[in-house]
Structure 1
């Protein structure tokens, strides 16, 4: 399962939060402009790694839809947000945009955040309700969707 977790990390947030922004910056040949952008970038990376670990350890699964957690993950950052992994990716993307003063990366970050919201509301939350039943309902009442 560890190999699947690593693959899922590289294939999903790895592409969205790292490969696309780095390719964008490489093609634009932009020098770093605002070191303050490193703060959300690093916080997002730390949060993402914590969430992936929680999915693997507490949930006995991965962040990938083809190998989801077997148990509802409510520990770690999931005590404060129902979607800290998406919040972390958004922070990473905003960090890239700020660090490199890129309007294009800011627009990309906003599009990704809207896509995350739609995915959560229309796909993940109904699946979680069907899969985890009353545990999910209690958790959703107690913890906010985003922040």
Structure 2
């Protein structure tokens, strides 16, 4: 896939998947109405805002790497030509899913809405099933030894404390 097509495809996927999953659906659930803060502590709202900002930054970075380095998209119908193991991928194998969940949980904390926590947990479970059942076998088939080294050294969900310095 050419770089221009990868960028356009990634941008389209970004609008239709993460923006819906982490924006439209949480809005539909909560209408982004502020409820009582969690544990009665208003400072928790700052934690929520920080999770949202970190998640959005992680999403943008990861999507850009898919298009510019991987020469593909996060969509299974137009996958990357190269395994992406830079940026946040040096810390966690699935930074896009982690970032989306961070945005959803951040909204839950910001707005004080337990329903968003439940939605985020269900979303994460579905991501886990998809990753284990489809993504990992597909990546193993497509990238063989490179993916195996990446898989062994970089955790699926909980980020490493130090960056993996493997094949980049």
Structure 2 runs not aligned, ≥5 long: 38-44, 159-168
How many residue pairs end up in the alignment?
A: 145
- 1:3 deviates by 2.1
Q: Are the aligned partners of 1:80 and 1:144 in contact in 2 as well (CA < 8 Å)?
A: yes
- Pair 1:49 & 2:54 matched: no
CA distance in 2, matches of 1:35, 1:20: 22
Residue 69 (structure 1) aligns with: 80
Structure 1 runs not aligned, ≥5 long: none
CA distance in 2, matches of 1:4, 1:85: 16
- 1:83 deviates by 0.5
Residue 20 (structure 2) aligns with: 15
Q: Report which of the two has the higher share of helix.
A: 1
CA distance in 2, matches of 1:135, 1:116: 23
Give the TM-score normalised by structure 1.
Answer: 0.93
Q: Are the aligned partners of 1:4 and 1:62 in contact in 2 as well (CA < 8 Å)?
A: yes
Cα RMSD, aligned residues only:
1.3
- 1:30 deviates by 1.7
Please tell me whether Structure 1 or Structure 2 has the larger radius of gyration of its CA atoms.
Answer: 2
